Amino acid sequence: MIERVKKYLEEVNSFSSTDALTIEKFRVSYSGKKGILATLFAAFREVPVEEKKAFGQELNVLKNAVSEKIKELQSQLKSTGGKSSISDPTRTPFPIQTGNRHPLSVVKNRIIDIFTQIGFTISEGPEIEDDWHNFTALNLPEHHPARDMQDTFFIQTDPDILLRTHTSSVQVRYMEKNQPPIRTISPGRVFRNEAISSRAHCIFHQIEGLYIAKDVSFSDLKQTLRYFTESLFGNSKIRLRPSYFPFTEPSAEVDIYWGLETEVDYRITKGTGWLEIMGCGMVDPNVLKNCGIDPDEYSGFAFGMGIERIAMLIYQISDIRLFFENDVRFLKQFKGTL
Ligand code: DAH
């Protein structure tokens, strides 16, 4: 009998585990109601009187060893933060994968933040548009050659209905419903019938800006754009290059100074150091008139940019198609950015 107790003692002393479930099994097998200790104490009563003392002593040694061992293992488990494998009904059985925003949403939200901080509201319009809002009201009457600048998807049964080619259509809708002062930006999807390549896609995203009030001048436009590019890209220079858009006069394209430090800088700026990021200009008086705003009383500026283009610059992405493939290995890289 004493031999058996000694064997148990050896087993207890050499037992070790970092797994909560194994430790718990060990505890139950020794100290549980029907465990080894309980069985041995029950057997103690049967032990002949002359052996009782020695057996009792051994039994107490074993009992203490068991409780010491359990204490030691449990405190070890706590300090190493050992993961309990005892089923916890409040715990999920597998690690939950948290998602993240799409990089286009991250960039769009950042741009929205920058403009809402200076009082711009957000407005939206329909993706299926009519000719008036997408073209005619924007000073692009029928047969105007500039309509070819944007290859349009028409709804076959009705040539008057199309997928909007730019978010400038929202300008028109907004001015038709609101009188100045107007300060609004319009993010949204736009569609063009273009061959898909690393630089072009037939669905993409734009943000349009519109500011109409009394005495708005070109310098207000410039200052607003400076504030925007500084907030988004850091302290970088911009330049405005004369350009043409039917809905603005004068019109300009905005370049930011990207620099010429690396080979990539050379490639993406074609050796100039400058990158075009948007179009802008003073809203053409014809457009104001078309939308019911008196051009003798009010003036304003507008600008429009592609969100993909800005995101490609910020994150140095060379293929626009990556935004639309929704490969999680690509998307995951933008967690917590901007
Ligand atoms: N709508 C133009 C485009 O899609 C972008 C644009 C240029 C918008 C100049 C404007 C602007 O408001 O003033 O290419």
Q: 3-state SS of 221-257?
A: HHHHHHHHHHHHHCCCCEEEEEEEECCEEEEEEEEEE
Residue whose token pair is 């139950």: 28
For the chain, the average pLDDT equals 92
Q: Identify the pLDDT of residue 50.
A: 87
Tell me, yes or no, whether 90 lies in a domain: no
Q: Is residue 209 part of a domain?
A: yes
Q: Is the shortest distance between the CB of 303 and ligand 1 below 6 Å?
A: yes
Q: Which atom of ligand 1 is nearest to the CA of 283?
A: 13
Domain shared by 9 and 147, yes or no: no
Q: In whole angstroms, what is the distance from residue 152 CA to residue 149 CA?
A: 9
Same domain, 75 and 108: no
Peptide bond into 181 cis (omega under 30): yes
Spatial separation of the C-alpha atoms in residues 168 and 208, rounded to whole Å: 6
Largest CA distance in the chain: 121
Between residues 306 and 338, the one the model is more confident about: 306
135 CB near ligand 1 (under 6 Å)? no
Residue 240 lies in a domain: yes
pLDDT value of residue 85:
54
**Does 72 map to a domain?**
yes
Bridge partners (DSSP) of residue 282 are 301
User: What's the confidence (pLDDT) of residue 337?
Assistant: 84
Same domain, 254 and 301: yes
Cβ neighbours of residue 69 under 8 Å, at least 6 residues apart?
12, 13, 15, 26
Do residues 137 and 221 both lie within one domain?
yes
Query: Which two tokens mark 70?
Result: 């359990």
The tens digit of pLDDT for each residue in 195-213 reads 999 888 999 999 999 999 9
| Among candidate residues 156, 123, 282, 297, the one with its CA nearest the CA of residue 218 | 282
**Amino acid found at 92:** T
272 and 180 in a common domain: yes
86 has a pLDDT exceeding 90: no
Q: Decide which of 63, 79, 95 is a domain's last residue.
A: 79
Which of 33, 64, 79 corresponds to the end of one domain? 79
Q: Specify if 89 maps to a domain.
A: no
Using an 8 Å Cβ cutoff, are 209 and 330 in contact?
A: no
- How many structural domains is the chain composed of? 2
176 and 299 together in one domain:
yes
Report how far residue 210's alpha carbon sits from residue 188's, in angstroms, rounded to the nearest whole number.
14
Look up the domain containing 17 and give its range.
Answer: 2-79
Q: Determine which residue's CA is closest to atom 13 belonging to ligand 1.
A: 280
> Can you tell me which atom of ligand 1 is nearest the CA of 171?
12
208 lines ligand 1 (CB under 6 A): yes
Q: How confident is the model at residue 83, as a pLDDT?
A: 55
Please give the pLDDT value at position 82.
Answer: 56
For residues 320 and 189, what is the distance between their CA atoms, to the nearest angstrom?
A: 15
CA 135 to chain centroid, in Å, comes to: 33
So what's the pLDDT on residue 199?
87
End-to-end CA distance of the chain: 73
Determine whether the shortest distance from the Cβ of 167 to ligand 1 is under 6 A. no
308 and 274 belong to one structural domain: yes
One domain, residues 73 and 119: no
Flag whether 271 is in a domain.
yes
The atom of ligand 1 lying closest to the CA of 206 is 4
Query: What does the pLDDT read at residue 172?
Result: 98
Do 35 and 108 lie in a common domain? Answer: no
- Nearest alpha carbon to residue 129 among 152, 145, 104, 147: 152
pLDDT value at position 298? 98
- Looking at the fold, whether 239 and 310 belong to one and the same domain comes out as yes
Domain match, 127 and 165 both: yes
CATH of the domain at 276: 3.30.930.10
| DSSP 8-state assignment for residue 30 | H
Does the C-beta of 304 come closer than 6 Å to ligand 1? Answer: yes
Report yes or no on 191 lying in a domain. yes
Q: Domain check: are 51 and 195 in the same one?
A: no
Which range, of 34-38, 207-211, 264-268, averages the lowest pLDDT? 264-268
Q: Is residue 41 part of a domain?
A: yes
Q: What is the pLDDT, as a whole number, of residue 87?
A: 63
Token pair 């089923």 is found at 87
